[in-house]
Structure 1
Amino acid sequence: MWVANPAESFQPIEGFGASDAWAAQFVGRWPEETRQQVARLLFSREFDPAGRPRGIGLSIWRFNIGAGSAEQGADSGIRDPWRRAECFQNAQGYWDWSKQAGQQWFLEAARRHGVETVVAFVNSPPVHLTRNGRAWGDGSEHSNLAPERYAAFAEFLATVCEHFEKAGLPFDYLSPINEPQWRWSRRNGQEGCPWTNEEIRALVPVLGRALQTRGLKVRLVLPEAAQLLHLLGPTEGEPLCSDQLRELFGDRSDALLRTPAVAPVVAAHGYGTTTSRTQLRRVRQDLGERLRTDHPRLRYWMSEYCILDENDGGRLRGPGRDLGIEPALFVAEVIHQDLVLAWATSWQWWLAISPYDYKDGLVYVDRNPAGGRVYESKLLWAVGHYARFVRPGAVRIHVQVDPAGARLPDESGPWISGFRHPRSGTYTFVALNRTDREVPVILRMADGSRLRFRSYLTTPEPDVNLQPGPLMETGRAWTLPARSMVTWVSEL
């Protein structure tokens, strides 16, 4: 038996999201019916006549502000055209707001569907500002942007933010750097720029003043660390850009948080910490304890993740598209641990749309700039179990196995997380069963209240994706199928 205690609450939830990099630049110009289909899968909160969600209702959308590698073409050094990005400004200072048209279409679609938060993020400064005239560095640990260009970069970003605010598509947050630990060079095959901690501390006040001068409401989010380990201490090979909780948010860096535009958020990526279930849990538990003890003002954003390299004890690797249940259940476990152990207030996936033979997308598409087919993944719907029903403003509540009841679950689960929606007075519970056996679940409320829940189920069956299921009631057994997820939503 599982017991939920609404009186014991934890972090508020800001939302769940994904980014438009890089395929939105093409898919956003596909035939209207196809791009509307993709937007509906990502953003819709409507139900079809059978009561099934039409989409996963993302509440956060990440918009990539490009550096101009697309205009350089093959001379950019980025071989894959799908990984290049346009820039709104050219070397002569001319602004062209028709650039990034496909991405702008998806930004408009996100807002039209009611997406609450937009995060604009930057992989590289514009190529006409960088040291080498490229959207990647020379392989050193220092930024590809010289200090004398910080003000120009800040003005570029402030102008972009101001334009979209005046256009009625404001950015809520701006992430000016991305994975600063990696020594981005031509071999990485995409736009990217390293930054040392010292360089970040120098850039942020300049950027903050540029935003403040224009009266913009956008807030800065930092540092988009490449791995959670880069927050927790010095890491081998990155002495100048790790230990970022202390270096950027500790006593010596109070000025950073005093910059008016900086949000009290530490953003980091989940890569490199999911090799085993033990590592997955330990790193997130360490991060959560460190934040609550030393940095209680900071909110933690898990701001980028997809399945890379080796994961889950060697059972899952990044290469090879897989639309099935296994990657979906694994990612759901990662989400659960980020929420429950690290107290993440938001969780954001990497590629919303992928043309690749890789486990990096929610929606997959044919690799054709002019148009093609759209492929749903179980992973899309797994993220939807949280995104669609755990809305911004929800508060995570305590859920545990009744110590007087059945034995504790083993390390393979099941896992249940619970959320209270203060405005409506309703509750959402997400349960995950990665085992090959059915699991009976009984849920009760610690205050003795009796609730009825609508259920939405995803299983290995091809068409069972957030499928409406039988009602669930507190105090009564509900069978969680093998290798499945269920979301329970209480009725008013």
Structure 2
Amino acid sequence: MRTNRTRRAPRRARLAVAGALAVATAAAGLATGPVAVAAAPVTIGIHPGTSYQTIQGWGTSLAWWAEGSGRWASVPAREALATALFDPVDGLGFTVARYVYGADGPANTCAATQWPESDFHSFQPTQGTYDWADTSGQTWMLRAAQKRGANVFQATNYSAPVWMTKTACSMGDFSAPGTDNLDPAFYDDYAAHLATVTQHLQTTTGVPISSIEPFNEPKDTTWPALLQDYPTPGVTTPIGTQGMNASQATQNAVYQELIAALSSRGMTPSTGIAASDEVSVASTVAGVNSYSPAVRDGLTQIDTHDYGGGDGNAVRLVAERENTSLWMSEWGSNGDRDDTSPTSMGAALELSSRIIKNQDEMHPEAWVIWQAVDGPTNGGKLNDLWGLVYADYAASGSGELTFPKRYYAMGQYSKFLRPGSVMIADTDPSTMTAYDFGSGKLVAVATNSSGAARDIALDLRAFGGTASATAFRTSATESIAPVSAGTIAGSTLTSSLPANSITTFVIDGLSYSGANARIQVDDATIGTGANQWSYSAGWGHCAAAACGDPQNLHAGTTSYTGQKDATATLSFTGTKVALRGVTGPTAGIARVSIDGGPPTDLDLYAAQRHGDQLIWQSPDLASGPHTLEFRHTGRFNPQASQSVSALDRAEVTTTAAPAAGSLVSQADPGTVRNDLTGEVGLSFTTGASPVTVTALGRQLVTGSTTGVHQLSLYDSTTGTAVATAALDTAVSETDGLGFQYRPLAAPVTLAAGRTYHLASAEAAGGDQWREFDSTVALRPGFTANGPAYRLPGGTWTVFGATPTKGYGLVNLLTSP
């Protein structure tokens, strides 16, 4: 940020926290007096035992702003913009960039002109002829992003080259808007074009493209996009941007061709396929579900835009089913504000709200804004949300940059929630939390969109360690400014959030060893047993200063090799593994595989050397023992000066285990709802022996589980509640399946062979709970009867045809 070089050191709050459910005395260390807080702040429970995605990064599409700004006459202005977006110290620290392949060529009958620089030139302007004289501003900005630390790059196309379209128009079919514009005769040519351009870009620029997306809002956005009454009232005007409709059948056919094109060129280990970047979650889900099994099996990533604002859990479930990564790949509100002040927080708070919603529902590995820069040339306004930076991004622009509050709002997330940290559950709908299990750093971003101060208490009882806390805030008068983190008492950090503000708390020095703790395997942990590295000949090992600068290695060690085909092997037991390594100008290309399966190539080049960098994470794995092989290929990026591969650590996700005595042995949460007042849960029948119940539980829905929930267990024959419990979700820890429990006042014995209904009382408009599409399995000795619900004053309804499903979700514990 512009203030980073001159800002004063942030004040730190120090606290000591013991292990789960224990409290230690805090050592106060605030530089000044504590922030005044209300007597009863809102408690925000933080639950590292319920963890979600490993964050891959934050980023932006390069359309259309980069094409113009990357050709500004003032190179210092270009550099300043690239720094503002991609530099992790003096900017937002974006690590993800989406590069757009153009469609324009001499045959184009309708070049896009309304949006500045949106008539992207095609690398294949005429059939069979490639034009590699790349002077595009987009490529300049791509290189500048990589130079500053961006390392995740995706290629996408808004329209096929015009000579492949039915209408020779890069904006769509004006005679029949919304209809397919890709000529079926060129499906294979289009796939070959995408593969060829990607291969060329990688080999000539040294920018590794990790995935290709052939479409952009292909079905449920009408191309050409037509705007009524804009800019002239009573007149319908084309929006003036490249676009191409493709039916689901067309998409399926192109994806089949692209799978073959990448495979035939040997690109599959390095470049995957993403789908389908539809305009909304619902559209993306429908698109992916329409593809053939072969196409779905060939996808490595699901991308969705979020202009529809639907339940992101739906696309999360599809990504989990297909075992792919998931991105929220485009959003921008275009919400014009009533005022023109650069200090207005309206757009900033809207941006923060959308980020939290997407994170709570989708759990995306990457979150990508559409336009990082927008300006007056195309009608952009200082207080809308198409861009984070306000500038005339046309090539003729002056390079003058304005930073509205939404730019700093983005930085409250992207500067602190860094790649490799893991999103974890919390109980507040206005807070996002993530934890680095290896470094012990917790980050909580709390938003207060109200007009009054909000007093909060971050409950850290799940953690151990001695921690120090810093805080940074954006408000009408602050821009990621260092502020007091608050006061500490026991294992609680208490602070006050000013009206209309976003505050990021960075808490270092924590540890966690509870349910679902992720295992860290340092590169120096060498042996042939579980959770140990085994190295072939050709590897070296170093520690501390012998490893060179900078000294930001995990545990101060790294293991490295420059010998072709030298391997490092890790045996582990779990359901997922992530690799951290050393990236830099001498780094080479490594190849990783699991259990002898398909390999993935990892280009470890970076302009600056950094240790403990997230370089790869596996898809979900079957629970059990696995073997990871990390192999040095001897190849290297065109920009690299040597070819060295270096490991730092592995992070193993262990098998999620329920609490002792849990009725539920497996729980896969579905979509959410909160539109019903009544009791929701599941029905079950006990086995041949009586059982004693000691606690009732409800699964936490992150960001939407607050206050106290009434849980009840009913005898289905008599209708009597045989057990009740009031669950305080803010202070109850989660087990390995994400359930929180409230012990009963006295144990209750359930009769053998009898049916019971277990439910949580919910209120319309209140906390969210899991829908009918949630899957549960009960431990042996119990029979599941299906989801159950009851409206006030009504009778129970049980869906016996779906015994593996449940509402809520709810659970109970029994004694041995």
Q: TM-score, normalised by structure 1?
A: 0.83
Distance 1:72 1:438 in 2: 59
Distance 2:180 2:338 in 1: 30
Partner of 2:296 in structure 1? 257
Q: Counterparts of 1:394-433 in structure 2 under 5 Å?
A: 394-400=421-427, 415-433=430-448
Shift of 1:334: 0.7
Q: Counterparts of 1:123-202 in structure 2 under 5 Å?
A: 123-138=158-173, 139-167=176-204, 168-181=206-219, 182-185=221-224, 187-202=238-253
Distance 2:192 2:152 in 1: 23
Shift of 1:378: 1.4
Partner of 1:468 in structure 2? 482
Q: Counterparts of 1:31-430 in structure 2 under 5 Å?
A: 31-46=74-89, 54-68=90-104, 75-76=110-111, 78-91=113-126, 93-99=128-134, 101-138=136-173, 139-167=176-204, 168-181=206-219, 182-185=221-224, 187-216=238-267, 217-232=270-285, 243-248=286-291, 253-259=292-298, 262-263=299-300, 265-273=301-309, 283-288=311-316, 290-291=317-318, 295=321, 297-308=323-334, 316-317=335-336, 323=342, 324-356=344-376, 357-358=380-381, 359=384, 360-366=386-392, 368-372=394-398, 373-400=400-427, 415-430=430-445
Residue identity opposite 1:7 in structure 2: G
Shift of 1:222: 0.2
- 1:60-95 CA-to-partner distances (Å, cap 9, x unmatched) read 1111111116x6788526444432111122215332
Partner of 2:568 in structure 1? none
Shift of 1:377: 2.1
Distance 2:339 2:326 in 1: 31
Residue identity opposite 1:128 in structure 2: W
- 1:5-39 CA-to-partner distances (Å, cap 9, x unmatched) read 21221222222111111121121122111011100
Residue identity opposite 2:353 in structure 1: E
Partner of 1:486 in structure 2? 503
Distance 1:43 1:124 in 2: 27
Q: Measured at CA, do residues 424 and 351 of structure 1 come closer, stay the same or move farther in structure 2, by a change above 3 Å?
A: same
Partner of 2:682 in structure 1? none
- 1:109-153 CA-to-partner distances (Å, cap 9, x unmatched) read 111111120111110001122111111221344431112101111
Q: Is the 8 A contact 1:20 1:353 kept in 2?
A: no
Partner of 1:456 in structure 2? 472
Distance 2:437 2:353 in 1: 25
| 3-state DSSP of counterpart to 2:365 | strand
| 3-state DSSP of counterpart to 1:451 | strand
Instruction: Pick 1 or 2: higher relative contact order, CA cutoff 8 A, min separation 6.
Output: 1
Whether 2:56 is the aligned partner of 1:14: answer yes
Q: Is the 8 A contact 1:385 1:487 kept in 2?
A: yes
Identify which range, 481-490 or 469-478, moves more after superposition: 469-478
Q: Measured at CA, do residues 200 and 286 of structure 1 come closer, stay the same or move farther in structure 2, by a change above 3 Å?
A: closer
| 3-state DSSP of counterpart to 2:160 | coil
Measured on the aligned residues, the alpha-carbon RMSD in Å equals: 2.4
Q: Is the 8 A contact 2:110 2:170 kept in 1?
A: no
Shift of 1:423: 3.6
Partner of 2:686 in structure 1? none
Distance 1:397 1:367 in 2: 38
Q: Is the 8 A contact 2:337 2:346 kept in 1?
A: no
Shift of 1:437: 0.9
Shift of 1:367: 5.4
Q: Is the 8 A contact 1:19 1:349 kept in 2?
A: yes
Distance 2:326 2:212 in 1: 16
The structure where strand makes up a greater share of residues is 2
Residue identity opposite 2:427 in structure 1: Q
Distance 2:55 2:371 in 1: 21
Distance 2:508 2:439 in 1: 10
Distance 2:55 2:45 in 1: 21
Residue identity opposite 2:434 in structure 1: F
Q: Is the 8 A contact 1:2 1:441 kept in 2?
A: yes
Q: Is the 8 A contact 2:275 2:288 kept in 1?
A: no
Residue identity opposite 2:485 in structure 1: L
Residue identity opposite 1:489 in structure 2: V
- 1:91-115 CA-to-partner distances (Å, cap 9, x unmatched) read 1533233335211111001111111
Partner of 1:240 in structure 2? none
Residue identity opposite 1:257 in structure 2: R
Q: Measured at CA, do residues 255 and 322 of structure 1 come closer, stay the same or move farther in structure 2, by a change above 3 Å?
A: farther
| 3-state DSSP of counterpart to 1:189 | coil
Distance 1:318 1:106 in 2: 29
Shift of 1:330: 0.8
Q: Measured at CA, do residues 183 and 397 of structure 1 come closer, stay the same or move farther in structure 2, by a change above 3 Å?
A: same
Distance 2:169 2:255 in 1: 22
| 3-state DSSP of counterpart to 1:392 | coil
Identify which range, 8-17 or 448-457, moves more after superposition: 448-457
| 3-state DSSP of counterpart to 1:339 | helix
Give the % identical residues. 26
Q: Counterparts of 1:439-450 in structure 2 under 5 Å?
A: 439-449=454-464, 450=466
Distance 1:332 1:478 in 2: 19
Q: Is the 8 A contact 2:103 2:125 kept in 1?
A: no
- 1:214-256 CA-to-partner distances (Å, cap 9, x unmatched) read 1221111100011112145xxxxxxxxxx224213xxxx2111
Distance 1:73 1:382 in 2: 40
Shift of 1:341: 2.0
Residue identity opposite 2:210 in structure 1: D
Residue identity opposite 2:217 in structure 1: E
Q: TM-score, normalised by structure 2?
A: 0.51
Distance 2:437 2:201 in 1: 32
| 3-state DSSP of counterpart to 2:85 | helix
| 3-state DSSP of counterpart to 1:295 | helix
Distance 2:110 2:248 in 1: 31
Structure 2 unaligned spans of 5+: 1-42, 226-237, 510-816
Shift of 1:430: 0.8
Residue identity opposite 1:430 in structure 2: V
Residue identity opposite 1:326 in structure 2: G
